[in-house]
Amino acid sequence: MLLRSVIKHVGEQNWAAVAIDFVIVVVGVFIGIQVANLNETRIENQQSARFTERLLADLRLEAWSLVFAREYYGDVLASADRAVSALEGRSTLSDEELLINAYRATQFTRAPAARETYDELISIGAINLIRDESLRNLAIRLYGVTEFEEKRTDEDRDAPYRQLFRMIMPIEIQHTLLRNCGDKNRVRRDYASIVNMLDYACSTDLGEQEIASAAKTLRTHPDVLPYLRLRMSDVESRLTDTSDFAWMEKLREIAPEMP
């Protein structure tokens, strides 16, 4: 309709009307662009808010997983330390206590990952939808650490001491240790459930002869103590690497329940 009007006014050489038509066109285009931009901005703001909320939820889970891993491997290290001390003759443990601590020193865990939102943002090149720069940097650093920790978990699973213990210890004893002295149940986001995951009082319920035989194997096998020292050193390094980060305070801001 507007085009026909312009053609008519040009034909009539009504230049004032042509000018008015031109202004109408320009204003219409401008308004159309502005409406499109506003709509695009509105959609982008909605996406930003949605991704930010999802990322915050994931980071709170990652905060729990970080504390969980630190608590868990603290217990593993304490068990390894007690077993090493006893085998070196620096302290005294009963045969059952030695067996329990030697078993717990083999344990490893894989903290559940919560990185779906971050991975999605990276895959679509939209990490800048997280407008809070400090939150964005926190996610980049934290997920870099957790990715490294996942690789370490694979190393823990294949640790020489873990493999040795499982090769020299009767399978029935291993099953009993797992059942009576293994990991306690944990609840995601529940920090109380991860305290003393391994470092708690337990009884193997094994017979005296079975305990004595297993303890003798631990005390006399030439590779147990060297591999146990190596295990202890590896776990110490792991705890040191994940215990002190400059961005930890920012993590506590979004997950204030962190201990």
pLDDT at residue 45 greater than cutoff 70: yes
Radius of gyration of the chain from its Cα atoms, rounded to whole angstroms: 32
**Angstrom distances, CA of residue 61 to CA of 10, 15, 118, 258:** 69, 69, 13, 11
pLDDT for the residue numbered 171: 97
2 falls in which pLDDT band (50, 70, 90)?
very low
Average pLDDT over residues 12-18: 53
pLDDT for the residue numbered 154: 76
pLDDT at residue 61 greater than cutoff 80: yes
Q: Looking at 38-42, 88-92, 190-194, 232-236, which range is the least confident one? A: 38-42
Name which of 228, 222, 214 is nearest 100 in CA terms. 214
How confident is the model over 64-105, as pLDDT tens digits?
A: 988 898 899 999 999 999 999 999 999 999 999 999 999 999
Calpha distance 169→217 (Å, rounded): 8
C-alpha torsion sign, points 161, 162, 165, 167? negative
Average pLDDT over residues 45-51: 89
DSSP 8-state assignment for residue 243 = S
Which residue's entry shows tokens 């083999």? 106
pLDDT at residue 36 greater than cutoff 60: no
Prediction pTM value: 0.80
Name which of 177, 259, 201, 221 is nearest 75 in CA terms. 201
Q: Mean pLDDT for the chain?
A: 85
Name which of 9, 112, 125 is nearest 60 in CA terms. 112
Alpha helices (H) along the chain: 2-11, 15-87, 95-104, 116-123, 133-157, 160-168, 171-181, 208-220, 224-241, 248-254
Q: Which two tokens stand for residue 26?
A: 């320009």
Calpha distance 11→24 (Å, rounded): 19
C-alpha torsion sign, points 110, 203, 233, 219? negative
Q: For residues 241-255, b (16+ Cβ closer than 10 Å) or e, as one string?
A: ebeeeeeeebbeeeb
Calpha distance 255→259 (Å, rounded): 10
Confirm if 113 and 153 have CB atoms less than 8 A apart.
no
pLDDT at residue 14 greater than cutoff 70: no
Calpha distance 233→6 (Å, rounded): 85
pLDDT at residue 10 greater than cutoff 50: no
DSSP 8-state assignment for residue 124 = T
pLDDT at residue 29 greater than cutoff 80: no
How confident is the model over 123-182, as pLDDT tens digits?
A: 999 999 999 998 999 998 888 777 666 667 777 888 999 999 999 999 999 999 999 999
Average pLDDT over residues 190-203: 92
pLDDT for the residue numbered 39: 65
Give the CA diameter of the chain: 116
